[in-house]
Structures are given as structure tokens and as C-alpha cells.
Structure 1
């Protein structure tokens, strides 16, 4: 049962069950069309489709073209699903299509490969490396904002992609690496996300082999990302000395002398480029929109950064003091988790979930978006309320999963949240982003959902220190 205090704070707690009453229901979504199933509904109104599922059960059968999938709608069952990574292995339409791009990187590989890969990659995201990454972020924020002008109308997603891409590339590679092909990365990521979503929504292979403009864009983007990755890795290998960056760690032998193969390094770099850029950029874009749409939150944000930072860039040691800023990022990730549609798994053996048998090879799916907007978990779930996270503590299992959970939890979750929090604070210390009148902001129904369109007017803040305004570097 959810306590009154948790409900008042907007906190989350899954329904509890006992051995005597394992009351998890299995339902079937009605309205499946012949051959197409529920694919048209999912493709045309993905968010409404997802929001409707929990009304049909805790585990709901859906049809996507010829594929039958079971969507897990209850947080306790999602938690079980994510903990049992070998039984519910990464597979199904989402990850099968993602492997076409990222291969078997740490985020996409089967469970049998995951533990060894994660052990080798984990040092890249050790907390001891965060101060250096944070310094890179501060430098790139200064470089980005040095080009801004008071009154300018800013394409926010484009600017945040520029920032996230610059940070990831500088952390991944040597400073001398040729990054001339990086600016085109954003358009390629957008085309890939669109293609993955289309292939997941309409899992009919013939449709994806037709010579349509969308299929051509997807194939060009896939090849561009792979070639860019090869170029960046080659540039690192030719210029590397002994830089303490991610590529150096990826190519160095582990403590037992084992190192990643060339293919594994390639797959990890693609994974970091796609996930690192997308997650940070989309989170920051939505955060700016949400803050701009809530003037009282924006006023409090500016007051906090003025007190904590006094006009300087945010540092890692400021995280604990940037309480509201951190809650804004947490609430943004609840409302708009980067991987928000259907994330799929495949049962590796005969098993059960919630008391319902599932044969080997069954496709299982869950939706962070659907979980994060359940009214029984979050009061007024569609409302942006950063203070719902004040004094709530750690979310109950399965109720807040923007980065997953269990053994396959996103390896870069701390990196993304830290960079997003500090970047939001650093920019807010000097700039106010105001909504452009007359624009309607809507999410794009993709695997990684961006605000579209989102332009905001830049206002240089009067409280910014005069000497800080003129700086172009940190």
C-alpha cells in the first residue's frame, strides 16, 4: 500500500503482494486488425497506445504485425524482469534492430557476453573520472554559449546536441583526433531513431527492404555512423600518446591482461556515441522547455544557481548543493525518459512472470513512459513537479527506470545525470531561456523522443557577473 506521505510527495511505491495473493492479471488488448494487429494504433498514436495498456492488465498481450508480445505494465513485474537478465535476455524487435547499428556493445549484447564486457568497460565510468569529464563539460558550455547573443532565438535541441556531442567526443578521443565528420552525427542519429521505431512498430521485414525514402535515409545514416566511428578510432590510434580518456581505457588491457577486441571496441564506441549524445541532449532539451513553461520553477532555479555558483561554472563538488537543479533533471527523466517507448526482451527458457507461464522465445516488453505516468504511482503524473522528489528517498523498484535497473542498468547513468545537472546549472547561471510565443511543443513518437519544434529566446541575466559575461572560456 502507498503511504499518505508518499502520495503527498508524489513518490512511487509498487503494489505489494503476498504468497497467498499473487494477483497479477494477464489481459489481451482488444482491437487487433488482421495481419497488422495493433501496429497502426502504436505507429499513429504511440503515447496514447502505451497509456491505455495498464487498463487491460499487469501483463498485456499485444500484436505488432505477425509478432505477439507481452507488455509488462506493473512496476513490481518490471523489476523482476530487469533483475533476471539471463532469463529475460536483450532481444526482440527493439534490440534486434539496434544491433544492426551498435553491434554487440555493452548496451545491446546478449547476457552471455555482458558480464565480461561490462567488467572491461566499467572503469570508463568510474566516479574518480567524473571531475575530468566535468571540466570538459564546463569548457564546452563556455564555447557554446560564447556564440550566444542577448535576444537570439535558439534551436534548443540543436544546441544541446552540439554540446552533448562535443563532450562525448572530447571524453572519448584524443584532443588531436579529426572530428570534422562529427557535426553530421545529429542528423544521422535522428534518421536511425526514426528507422528503428518504424522497424519495431511494423515488424514486417519486407517493408524495410523496399526502396522508400525512409529506408534510404536509415541505410545512409547507419553507414555514416559506422564510417565515422572507424575514422574516430583510426584517428585515436594514430595520434594517441597516453591520454587518460575513454578510448585509451577501451583499448588498454584489463588487470588480467584481457582487452576488448577491435570489433568490441567499435561496438562500444558506437554505443557511447548514440546513447551518450542522445540521452544527455534530449534530457537537457526537455528540461529547458519544462523550466521555461513554469516561471516559478525558473525563478527558483536562478536563485539556487546564483547562491551556489555566483556566476562561475558548476563543478562536481556543487552537486549536493544544487538540490532543485537535480530534482529538475530527475523529474524531466520521469516525464520524458530517453528510451521511452517499448523496450523488448526475449525469454531464453521456459519461465513465468507474475504467475503466468511464458515459453522460451517469447517477446516481452516494457515502457518507461507508461510506468512513469501511472496515476497510482505518481500524483498528477502528467504535471511537471520537481518537488515531488524532495525528501522522498530512493524510488521504489520498477517505478522510475529511465536507465533501466539490475545487471543491465545503463552503464553511463551517473555520467548522463551528472553532466545534465551541471550543464543546466552552468547555463542557468548566465542565461534565461524564454519560450517563443505561439509555438506548440510536442514530443515526437520515436524511441528517443525529442521536443519538436523547440525554439527559445535567449536573455542574458542581469545577475551574471560582468567579468563572467565577457569570458569565452573557463
Structure 2
């Protein structure tokens, strides 16, 4: 029997379902499986077919030749990120993947751990007890510093970093806004479009300067940029990445590594603040393996509770809740013919909240990952926060290691208290970052009694 095909109700003239998405993206995405396995939606000027099951999502992700990167969202991403690994079409992807893969090999990840740890400790050292923390802002700065410090051994100055964080935030907000616009309006000199183009130009200019300065150094410093400059493709005349390709990859890593990690950590801290027994277990683990002051060479593989909290956060709040593909030929999906040129959306948020795939899917239960394989390989199955197939996120292990270590570093020093019982709304951005999340830090006291409560990761 074929999959059910339907059109989501509530489409409005001109804007389609954009109002429902902006008003409550969570509710809209969770409602789609109620209408069918394949659901037509309309967002502004474009129409898309959303796959709402894990099986159909797997088909889309596996066949990247038929379901190629494309659609209004990727058109906007390419305006800034160029033809980087995350946004390039099928014809370019295999070569780029071969060239970039050495940067993220397992034997290089331990070399990045001290950088991740130092940046996390530097952030938590800046907090003051009783002074509310603007969580997403601090997580962005920490994630950007980590991304840049792992890419470039000589990290940029604070002024350059602050500028990059601000400009990247403007670009990410503009990507979503412009994806919803008709083409003629996207080119119109509105204040929003002008600020977007300024931020886009400044970001590319700053990254171009960093790459140009770095290419003059030929030694391997053990960082990402060294690996990118040195990598060669034996299937293409042993050629490496040219200057513009290096810039595109750096922009891709910077934007992806900053915003997705910041979003994940922000939601994780919100969830932990709402669940004191998980917070206590995080602290117990951090006190055991990191200590009060921490160790720059800490082994993140021991941080099982923190890893499971991060995995459960990624299930509940995947940073990229919906991503587009475009069919390169007429194909069949769920027993239905899909014409060439159709925009198809797969939604990690929708799949990972679908009833039947997880027990109590709306609950925050880190212990559901207790039997996950050791280390930092993301699980298989209906977990699609990192995508899947040949285009699965190349930095998934890097990102999971970073988020786990940062979360544990925070838990070792601070307990964060919620200022409200309400769940933050997602910001209007490409990622599902929480909007206006502020938490109150309380200094930890030395652990003197056993921790009790439901297990979070053991």
C-alpha cells in the first residue's frame, strides 16, 4: 500500500503557511504527520512536498543524485557560503567530500579537544553568580571562538571575532527571510536586504583575509586549515582546493559550526534547568572526570551523561528543523509520482517527534540513549539530526564531541536556573535557536553526597 498524500490545511493567500510557521514552528511541524506521509505545503511564493516518515526521509537522503541540494533555502545559502560542501550540488559533492574528509578523520579529533575545552572554560569563567546569562549570545561567541581556533592556530582578535559573530547572525536571519520572498523583492533595496548584503560582504571579506594570510604558511599546525590546504584528490590529478574553494569551506564550517552548536547547547541548558535530577547527574559526572577547575586534556568519551543529554536535545530540537532538496528527474516517492523540479522537504524535527518511533516522543529522556554505541558516532535509525546518506554532516563527530565537552564544562562550574516555566519560541532564523533564553547562574559547591534520581545516561 502506498503512502498517504495530502495538502496541509490553513494556507493563506500570498503567504501560504508562512504565518503558521512563524507563529509556532513546533506545532506546525508536529501537525504534518496527522495529514499524511507526504504533505504539500506552501511558503510564500514556493510550494514543497514534505516527507513526514523515517522511511521516506531515508529514501530522500540515500538518493542524493535524484534528490539534489537545492530549492529557495539553498539558493540563499549559496549567496554567502558559495559552493561549499554543505550546499554544493551532486556533481561537485563527491570531489569536495574526498578533499575535506581528512580534516575530520577520527585521529584528528583528539587534537581539537584542548581547544574546545579552553574556549568553554574561558566562557564560564566570565559568568557572575546572580547575573542572568543571555544563553544563545554566549553560546554563539563560544562556538565561533572554537570554530575559528580549530580552523586557525592563531585565532583572530576579539574585534574580528565579535564582528564575525554579529555578521553571521544577520546573514542567518536574512537567509530565511529572503527564502520566503519573491525574487523581485529579494533584490529590492529594503533596509533588511541592505543589512543582509553588507553582512554577507563583510563576512566573505574577513574570511578571505584569514585564508590569504594562512596560505602563506606551509607547515602543518594540526588544525583544520592545515588539513584543508594540504589535502589532494588522487582521482583528479592530485589537485587540491583553490583559494575560492578554501574560502567557501571555511565559511561553511564557520556558519555551521557556530549556529548549530550554539542552538544545541542553548536548548540543552534550557532542558537541564527544567530537570534538576539530570543537572545533578551532569555535575556528578563532570566533577568526576573534569574536576572543579577542569583539565584541558579531558577525555570526552567518558562524559556519557553529557553525551546522552546532547543526543536527546538534538532529537527534540534539531538545529536544522527542515531542509530542502530538488528532484533532478521524475521519480516515485511513497507510491506517488513526483515531477522533475519538485522541491522536497525532509524535516528532522517532524520525524524525531513522530509518535511510534520513540516512546513518549515529547518527553526529555536522556536515558533513552544509554545503550547507544560508545564514543561519539551518532546513532542510526530515525535519528536524522545530522542528515544521512552520502551527504550526512561531515562534522557530526566533531560537533557531538564539542557540544558534549562544552555542556560538561558548564555543569562543572555552574547550576543554571530558569527564569520562567515557559518554553522559548524558536527565533526566525535558518536554525531552530531559542529566542530570548536567559538563565540565572549559581556557583557549584563541592559534591559531598550521592546523587539520586532517574538515570540520565547510565
TM-score after normalising by structure 1: 0.87
More moved, 122-131 vs 439-448: 439-448
- State how 1:414-453 maps to structure 2 within 5 Å: 414-436=397-419, 441-453=424-436
Q: Indicate if the aligned counterparts of 1:150 and 1:458 stay in contact, CA closer than 8 A.
A: yes
Structure 1: state its 5+ residue gaps: 1-21, 466-474
Cα distance change of structure 1 residues 40 and 314 upon mapping to structure 2, 3 Å threshold: same
The question of 1:84 aligning with 2:67 is answered no
Q: How far apart are 1:392 and its partner, in Å?
A: 6.0
Summarize the Cα distance change of 1:317–1:371 in structure 2 as closer, same or farther, 3 Å threshold: same
Partner Cα distance (2:341, 2:379) in 1: 31
Q: Distance in 1 between matches of 2:5 and 2:91?
A: 30
Distance 1:293 1:228, change over 3 A: same
Q: Distance in 1 between matches of 2:251 and 2:366?
A: 33
Residue 304 of structure 2, aligned match among 304, 315, 323: 323
Whether 2:147 is the aligned partner of 1:164: answer no
- Mapped to 1, the partners of 2:156 and 2:320 lie a distance apart of 30
2:258 equivalent to 1:280: no
Indicate the residue corresponding to 2:201 in structure 1: 223
Query: C-alpha separation between the residues in 1 aligned to 2:102 and 2:273?
Result: 37
- Cα gap change, 1:395/1:151 in structure 2, threshold over 3 Å: closer, same or farther? same
In the TM superposition, residue 314 of structure 1 has moved relative to its aligned partner by: 6.1
Do the aligned partners of 1:177 and 1:239 also contact (CA within 8 Å) in 2?
no
The structural deviation recorded for 1:309 is 3.0
Q: Deviations over 1:124-175 (max 9, x none)?
A: 1111111110011122223223333333322221221121111111111131
Shift of 1:87: 0.7
CA shift for structure 1 position 179: 6.1
Residue 246 of structure 1 deviates from its aligned partner by 1.2
Distance 1:103 1:118 in 2: 16
Mapping for residues 214-253 of structure 1, pairs under 5 Å: 214-238=192-216, 241-253=219-231
1:60-102 deviations in Å (ceiling 9; x for gaps): 1222334221111111000010000111000011111111111
Residue 263 (1) aligns with residue 263 (2): no
For the pair 1:408 / 2:391, whether they are aligned, the reply is yes
Q: Distance in 2 between matches of 1:282 and 1:176?
A: 22
Gap change, CA 1:445 and 1:361, over 3 Å in 2:
same
The answer to whether the 8 Å contact 1:291/1:297 transfers is: yes
Displacement of 1:210 in angstroms is: 2.9
What is the CA deviation profile of residues 290-325 of structure 1, one whole-angstrom value per residue up to 9, with x for unaligned ones?
101111111121122223333353677734432211
Contact 2:307 2:404 in 1 (8 A): yes
- Residues 403/314 of structure 1: CA separation in 2 closer, same or farther (3 Å cut): farther
- Which residue among 78, 97, 110 is the counterpart of 2:76? 97
Distance 1:295 1:179, change over 3 A: closer
- Counterpart of 1:355 in structure 2 is 335
**In 2, distance between residues paired with 1:71 and 1:287?**
27
Q: Partners in 2 of 1:237 and 1:395 — Cα distance? A: 37
CA distance in 1, matches of 2:389, 2:151: 26
Query: After the TM superposition, which residues 17-416 of structure 1 pair with which residues of structure 2 at under 5 Å, given as runs?
Result: 22-175=1-154, 180-200=159-179, 202-238=180-216, 241-254=219-232, 256=234, 257-311=238-292, 313=294, 318-340=299-321, 342-391=322-371, 397=381, 399-416=382-399
| Counterpart contact for 1:174–1:236, Cα < 8 Å | no
Preserved CA contact (<8 Å) 1:433 1:458: yes
Query: Relative to structure 1, is the Cα distance of residues 297 and 351 closer, same or farther in structure 2, using a 3 angstrom cutoff?
Result: same
After TM superposition, give the deviation of residue 360 of structure 1 in Å. 1.3
Residues 112 and 223, structure 2, Cα contact 8 Å, conserved in 1: no
Cross-structure match for 2:451: none
String of CA shifts for 1:227-255, please: whole Å, max 9, x gaps.
11112112323456442211122122416
CA shift for structure 1 position 45: 3.3
Partners of 1:83 and 1:137 lie apart in 2 by 32
How many corresponding residue pairs? 441
| Counterpart residue number, 1:6 | none
Query: Does the CA-based 8 Å contact 1:430-1:464 persist in structure 2?
Result: no
CA contact (8 A) 2:41 2:48 kept: yes
Contact kept, 8 Å, 1:331 with 1:384, in 2: the verdict is: yes
**How far apart, in 2, do the equivalents of 1:242 and 1:122 lie?**
16
Separation of aligned partners in 2, 1:123 and 1:149: 40
Query: Is the contact between residue 148 and residue 156 of structure 2 (CA under 8 Å) also seen in structure 1?
Result: no
Q: CA deviation at 1:38?
A: 2.9
Contact 2:143 2:258 in 1 (8 A): yes
